[in-house]
Amino acid sequence: MQENKVNFGFKFVDEALKSSMVKGVFSSVASKYDIMNDAMSFGLHRLWKKEMLQNMRPHESFKLLDLAAGSGDISFAFLKYAKNNNINVSCVTSDINEEMLKVAKNKAIDENINNNGLEFQIIDAENIPFPENYFDYVSIAFGIRNVTNIPKALGEINRVLKPGGKFICLEFSNVDNEIIKKFYDLYSFNLIPKMGKLIAGDEESYKYLVESIALFPKSGEFTKMIETAGFVQASCKKLTFGVVAIHQGFKV
């Protein structure tokens, strides 16, 4: 029986292999992840994440599942906000990659994130090991495009959210202005992989990451995917000429 083929960047690979290949990419870049994020985005990723967090104001006893959490920026900012406002919350900081979770754990120590409600778990977004109607928020920043089966992951996210719970996603998007897009593509395909080689010692992983951005559904298409997964009030807000977008939807 022939395996289904899926994109891994501009290559086609067996569907069963993509997850392990993505793990390999992030294992390779984990130690330089934050440095590269700052370099690639000229620090803008911090503003994008801050904007995302404006849509994630917690209430007492709220539970957050942060998928593809990387080095933990979203989780930790959520917890800091709750602490500063004397709100008790819990957060599962998760990633499919063990090396990235190690980076997040070390960062939590460095930033004195000692919330009793914080836990770290290795989680595949397509198979979330929690019961239905469990979380108030599920977030994912710059991770949904690396999932092998995005509709399956969206279905899982919908399943574990409580009725009225919010899914919020920050992801690279499509630049609409043709002039800006030409410069953006030139920068992405030519300079980012070279930066990856110089800073992280890994050109190929950043070549994949740029290609995965180019292949991700356009903002309107992804909004429709969120609606198809059962979410209502699905919306999209583009930032920085459409380089990224914040998508969100609510579970009925």
Three-state secondary-structure class, residue 211: helix
Q: Can you say whether the dihedral through the CA atoms of 238, 242, 244, 249 is positive or negative? A: positive
Tokens 């690396």, located at residue: 146
pLDDT digits (tens, 9 = 90+) for 130-167: 999 999 999 999 999 999 999 999 999 999 999 999 99
Cβ–Cβ under 8 Å, residues 179 and 50: no
Give the pLDDT confidence score for residue 1 in this predicted structure.
37
Compute how many other C-beta atoms are within 10 angstroms of the C-beta atom of residue 218: 14
| Statement: residue 199 has pLDDT above 80 | yes
CB 247 within 8 A of CB 223: yes
Mean pLDDT of the chain: 94
pLDDT for the residue 152? 98
Complete domains list, the chain, with CATH: 5-177+205-251 (3.40.50.150)
pLDDT interval class at 116 (50, 70, 90): confident
Count Cβ atoms within 10 A of the Cβ of residue 17 and give its class: 0-12 exposed, 13-18 middle, 19 or more buried.
Answer: middle
Per-residue pLDDT for 107 more than 80?
yes
| Residue 2 pLDDT exceeds 80 | no
Q: How confident is the model at residue 212 (pLDDT cuts 50, 70, 90)?
A: very high
pLDDT recorded at residue 97: 94
* Mean pLDDT computed over 168-187: 96
pLDDT tens readout for residues 23-51:
889 998 999 999 999 999 999 999 999 99
pTM of this structure: 0.93
